[in-house]
Amino acid sequence: MPPQPPSHLPRLHDKTALITGASSGIGRAIAIAYASHGTKLVVCADLRPDAHGNANTPEDKEKTHDLINKRYGEGRAVFVRCDVAEARGWEEVVSEAVRRAGRLDVLVNNAGVGEHNYPRLHLMDEAIWDKTMAVNARGVFLGCKYALVQFLKQPPHPSGDRGWIINIASTFGINGFTGGHGPYCASKAACLNLSKSIALDYAADKIHCNAICPGFTQSAMTEATFKDEAANAGRLAATPWGRWGRPEEIAAAAVFLASEDSSFVTGVGLPVDGGYLAM
């Protein structure tokens, strides 16, 4: 008989994860991927639970937490409303995760904003800057803060680690981009460098903090861009892989960074971009 492959627990066995912006796009894909890898509980945090964006199948229209519970068993996911720019919302969503599961192991700061066809900076209303920074930078700061408070006061995970933070940054946080994207680029650079700073400050506490830098990825937020013929052609020309990324491909990286497979990984900004940054 040929040798049998070793038996392994699911990669996120018994972990509790909190994911913001979980109702659609990348956040939804991460929530579903985490449940498929054995999480004890996925807390789906968003302003509303309804799925939005492309709906090609009846399941695409289902709320993320409902879909997880249907696929993987009742009680495996819950929706909690959270405005990530407000500290009160973070206190409540972290408390709810701990109330239901006893601890929090993984935070994914995914919620973000970024509009299509902003004007150039000298014509831009200050409200655009304020909104973008409130969600994409302040929201990440608050999420990290309240997750760190919980990580530090709970017993370590069986691996010895106290927690995993994954912040969804962007290739635009490494390189700039034309077309009125200044606030978005600035906010994602803040997200990326905050991740590195946290990784250094909390390494001794065995808390991982990493960022993922997606390239051009099809989601509800980018729908207007990939449906715009000229904008779509520009994105494809800038991507060596020759296509848009899929939310599931970002989710695969988020699974790795929340698992023991990344036991010696912290402080990275991992591009998942079809070669865009290599150009």
Instruction: Tell me, letter by letter, the H, E, C secondary structure of 27-62.
Output: HHHHHHHHHHCCCCEEEEEECCCCCCCCCCCHHHHC
* Identified catalytic residue from 34, 118, 146, 184: 184
By the 8 A CB rule, do 195 and 167 touch?
yes
Cα–Cα distance measured from residue 234 to residue 123, given in angstroms and rounded to the nearest whole number: 24
Q: Which of 67, 78, 66 is nearest to 41 (CA)?
A: 78
Radius of gyration of the chain (CA): 18
Does residue 276 have an active-site annotation? no
- How many Cβ atoms sit within 10 Å of the Cβ of residue 263? 12
**Token pair of 208 as six digits:** 């991982």
* Cβ 104 vs Cβ 34: under 8 Å: no
Are 127 and 103 in contact by the 8 Å Cβ rule? The answer is no
Bridge partners, 167 (sequence order): 109, 211
Write the single-letter amino acid at 165: I
DSSP 8-state secondary structure symbol assigned to residue 134: I
Q: List active site positions.
A: 184
